Amino acid sequence: MNRVKGKYDVLIVGASLAASACAKRMVDAGLDVVALERNILPRHKVCSGILSPRGHRFLIENFGPLPREVLHEPTSCRGVTFHFPSMISIPMDFEGGPTPHLHRKFSDYWAIKSSGVEIHEGTSFTGLEDDGKMLNVTAKQGDKEVQYKTHFVIGADGPRSRVRHSIYGDYNKSIPWFMVGQKFQRIIECPLDDDYFHFWFHPELGHYTWSHARNRRQILGVGFPVGGNLHTYHARVEKYLRDKHGVKLEPAEEMEGCSHNFGPSLINSYVFGKGNVLITGQAAGFFNMLAEGMSCALHSGAIAGEAVVEAIHSNRPVQEVYRRQIASEVKRCTDQWNPFRIIFGNPHEADFKASLRKLSKKEQLIVIRDIVRFLKIYAPYKWGRQILAQSFMRIIRGEYPSSRWL
């Protein structure tokens, strides 16, 4: 039989970074909030864990200094190195100095506990219904079904968001999905500088290829359209790194992967929910360049929380408030993919153009050619024209049109 677990002002689905930031805003405002997390905490999270400087500032300002146990070894990352097929490599330091290398299992747990929210772990959201007065949420705890009553639901439940699915049933079929997987290998010899996160603009390696050091092992990561084979992509990258960069590794000890909704932030196609159901973090489509999703998860989560607080105080529809407030984070995120912003501004937290200028004119042209060749593997998604159209709108209106948001 169904059990009603309780009545809350707000129910958040997820207990990760977007959820923590969101919870913090609402708990601080005195709302009665519960966060449901499907896993038992602290839970594992597939992630490289390189927090951007902006994300780092957010954590410090909202939750205080980071405890040592929320960090991997090396504890920080100095910047990013781009590698090109022409064998030119460009190291770039993060603005403001090195950033933390988060151990997501513990950083996320620390953040959600610091938010002060009531947490129901091992509780998986399964659906919701609006009875006209309140939202009735159904969840599973083991094989038991439980119910909650609440005024607002926040979907902070990541790329495969079940909350998003409950209000936009066909959405998952409407976007391309990418698989990202990483293997952990003991190092025999690795000339790659372990102070940096390494990324390859190489069309033959895959859509997203990276490597960095963690706890005396090297991570080799690959991203490719869903349906591809992780082992095949990984073997190709391992051979390439051995042949071209002299990276010698033991066979993989561990591997992990998950699917990703990479794409919506490039073309300003976010999902923010309807009625009193808000979607935030990666569930909404926030994803910065180089798969950096933590800072925009934190900021968008905080904005969702603030929107609920303001909607209650001003007695305004929460979607109206949220959509007005979230426009700033949309700008931050989509600007990262906007060619005009990249050429004429500096939307990233490491200065690629300054590093490029240090190369000879000939090398600069080779790098630009390599980037163009790499971008061609994304041609089947037809994002190019949409990115350009949205970028023009950004020039004309000063912001990205909200008409493209769900």
Ligand X SMILES: Cc1cc2nc3c(=O)[nH]c(=O)nc-3n(C[C@H](O)[C@H](O)[C@H](O)COP(=O)(O)OP(=O)(O)OC[C@H]3O[C@@H](n4cnc5c(N)ncnc54)[C@H](O)[C@@H]3O)c2cc1C
Candidates 14-22, 322-330, 338-346, 360-368; binding stretch for ligand X (CB under 6 A): 14-22
In the complex with ligand X, which residue's Cβ is closer, 198 or 367? 198
Say if residues 21 and 62 touch (Cβ distance below 8 Å): yes
- Give the C-alpha separation, 100 to 111, whole Å: 14
Residue 128 makes contact with ligand X by CB under 6 A: no
Residue 39 makes contact with ligand X by CB under 6 A: yes
Say if residues 37 and 123 touch (Cβ distance below 8 Å): yes
CB of 112 to ligand X, least distance (A): 9
Nearest-CB residue for ligand X? 293
Residue 292 makes contact with ligand X by CB under 6 A: yes
CB-side neighbour CA atoms (13 Å) of 86: 16
In the complex with ligand X, which residue's Cβ is closer, 37 or 329? 37
CB of 363 to ligand X, least distance (A): 28
Residue 66 makes contact with ligand X by CB under 6 A: no
DSSP state of 350: B
CB of 282 to ligand X, least distance (A): 4
Residue 230 makes contact with ligand X by CB under 6 A: no
Query: Which of 12, 13, 71, 350 touches ligand X (CB under 6 A)?
Result: 13
Residue 100 makes contact with ligand X by CB under 6 A: no
CB of 176 to ligand X, least distance (A): 16
Residue 303 makes contact with ligand X by CB under 6 A: no
Residue 47: name the closest of 226, 295, 239, 229 by CA.
295
Residue type present at position 190: C
- Please name the residues in contact with 242: beta carbons below 8 A apart, sequence gap of 6 or more: 248, 249
Which residue is associated with the tokens 């000339």? 191
Residue 76 makes contact with ligand X by CB under 6 A: no
Number of residues that bind ligand X (CB under 6 A): 38
- Give the C-alpha separation, 121 to 100, whole Å: 27
Sign of dihedral through CA atoms 249, 250, 254, 258? Answer: positive
The beta strand positions in 56-117, using DSSP E, are: 71-77, 79-83, 89-93, 99-102
The footprint of ligand X on residues 314-353 (CB under 6 A) is none
Say if residues 69 and 106 touch (Cβ distance below 8 Å): yes
- Give the C-alpha separation, 207 to 180, whole Å: 10
Taking residues 170 to 209 in sequence order and writing x for each that binds ligand X by CB under 6 A, - otherwise, the string is ----------x-x---------------------------
CB of 183 to ligand X, least distance (A): 11
Say if residues 308 and 152 touch (Cβ distance below 8 Å): yes
- Token pair, residue 233, equals 């992509």
Which residue is associated with the tokens 């391309």? 176
Residue 37 makes contact with ligand X by CB under 6 A: yes
CB of 197 to ligand X, least distance (A): 7
The footprint of ligand X (CB under 6 A) covers 13-19, 36-39, 43, 45-51, 124-125, 156-158, 162, 180, 182, 221, 258, 260, 281-283, 291-294, 297
